Amino acid sequence: MSEIWESSATKIADEVRAGKLSAQEVLAVHLDRIDRLDSELNSISYLDVDAARQQAADIDAQVAAGSDPGVLAGVPVGVKELVSVAGWPDTEASLVYKDRVAKVTDSEVTRLRSAGAVIAGLTTAAEFGTVSFTNTPLNGITRNPWNLTRTPGGSSGGSAAAVAAGLFPICTGGDGGGSIRIPAAYSGLFGMKSTFGRVGRDPGPFPGSLVPVRGPMARTVRDAARYIDVVAGPTTCDPTSLPALAENYEHEVVSGAAADRLSGARVAFVSSFGFAASEPGPAAQAEEMAAVLIDALKLERVDLEINFPRVGSSWGILSTLNDMAWHSQDVKDHLDELSTVARMQYESFINLRPEIIAKSIRQRQGVLDAVSEVFSKVDILITPTTPKPALLAEGELMGELNGNQATLFDLSAPFTALFNQTGQPAASIPAGLVDGLPVGVQVVARRHEDLACFAAGAVLEELRPWPQLAPFAYS
């Protein structure tokens, strides 16, 4: 029999709902693991143990009284520290906000609690969510449980590390350029970026860049599907939020109905977008998984050579405008407290000229047009998630890629950020190991066709099962 901490979120919830497991026991096991193991990972920045214990006790009381606490009953959840929980630190992972306390609770967290999840604490993130590693002046370095010298990614790095190490069964994440998918690839997890607007945001600042998406860091496809079933839906302050789901993702995935719909779909695999390309190891692993998927679902393979416009500048500038709209007045007198990247972002913001902003808007339209052309020829696009395995834990702003010097964007995000600009659903699915480190395969579908990504993940999970936990989890 497996230990409680090895169990999936769905298994824990189903057993708590059935009275086979106590929510208080589940929480105690995970709190003990956090106490013993997180000093090496540094994946958790805040715990509210008393509140979590009270939530768990309330859930057990509901079960004892014959009530159903919800589909995530008793599942301990860590919340990425860029998301607000009333009464908890509201730091944006920055020293600038080290003493700020949240006044409101994000709708995502409210929906998780309503489904019976035990909201236990905050996981570390990149400052303002800006980079694909997790190392901040506020929290220090967060490490990858597959190899402590490597990063679990960012900006949802703490969530990824905690889930891969068995400290939490599932955690919240967010993806504005790959911040769910990159940590998933680096940490051996399933990471789902839903269609933009699928998970409505509120209260709090509206994402004017139109790229960030909320979602889970999960070990299994079913866990991620149940999570989205819980948190998806419109909110009053988010004009881009989509209507409630017409289907139950978990049921469609588990029943096989989602996979059945993909039979005969057109699919292309590429390991280069023209402006950046994967290293051979991750590309080979991803292409092998693509072949397994094509064969299993009887997909039609389409050969394409893709040369997308370089997305980095328009994505970066428009994202910087969005971030600094909320932070520039607060950080301008605290530049020495910022990470190098956050300081560069601020300096970029104050030096922006109108013509650069206008050019970025035009470049974004060029990206939309180019991707639309590709998806007129295919239904699904498959790529490596990242060009190489996890970077150093401290973070790298420049590094080597295919024998050449490359920026952090080209090292980690060229395959992911583009689909934040288009708003399409995309999943990172574990694809194997390269030099002992996990790598991922990315499956991208058209807007609103999130089930295609879940179906691909479920098929590969069955045919090429991946380790549910990193080796460090057993240390």
Confirm whether 67 is a catalytic residue.
Answer: no
Which of these is catalytic: 155, 187, 194, 412? 155
Within a domain: 3: no
Is the Cβ–Cβ distance between 420 and 213 less than 8 Å? yes
Distance between first and last Cα of the chain: 18
Tell me the two tokens of residue 444: 């991208």
pTM, whole model, 2 decimals?
0.98
Which of these is catalytic: 8, 45, 107, 179? 179
The residues, any chain, with a CB within 8 Å of residue 288's CB and separated by 6 or more, are: 431, 432
Which amino acid type is present at position 360?
A: S
Per-residue pLDDT, 202: 87
CATH number of the domain that residue 208 is part of: 3.90.1300.10
* Beta pairing, strands 380-384 & 266-269: parallel
Within a domain: 257: yes
Least confident window among 143-147, 272-276, 415-419, 424-428: 272-276
Q: Is the pLDDT of residue 168 over 60?
A: yes
Q: Is the pLDDT of residue 161 over 60?
A: yes
pLDDT digits (tens, 9 = 90+) for 102-139: 999 999 999 999 999 999 999 999 999 999 999 999 99
Within a domain: 2: no
Residue 176: give the domain boundaries: 8-474
- Count how many domains the chain has: 1
Rounded to 10 degrees, the C-alpha dihedral 30/165/453/323 comes to 90
Q: Is the pLDDT of residue 73 over 90?
A: yes
The residues, any chain, with a CB within 8 Å of residue 36's CB and separated by 6 or more, are: none
pLDDT digits (tens, 9 = 90+) for 400-423: 999 999 999 999 999 999 999 999
Within a domain: 1: no
Per-residue pLDDT, 204: 80
Which of these is catalytic: 8, 11, 22, 80? 80
Is the Cβ–Cβ distance between 177 and 417 less than 8 Å? yes
Confidence band, pLDDT 50/70/90 cuts, at residue 1: low
CA distances from 188 to 116, 217, 218, 423 (A): 26, 10, 10, 24
Confirm whether 155 is a catalytic residue.
Answer: yes
Q: Is the pLDDT of residue 94 over 60?
A: yes
Name the residue with tokens 């030096």.
351
Separation CA 145–CA 44 (nearest Å): 13
Separation CA 136–CA 147 (nearest Å): 19
Within a domain: 130: yes
Confirm whether 179 is a catalytic residue.
Answer: yes
pLDDT digits (tens, 9 = 90+) for 306-364: 999 888 788 999 999 999 999 999 999 999 999 999 999 999 999 999 999 999 999 99
The residues, any chain, with a CB within 8 Å of residue 178's CB and separated by 6 or more, are: 132, 385, 386, 412, 413, 415, 416, 417, 420
The count of residues in the chain is 475
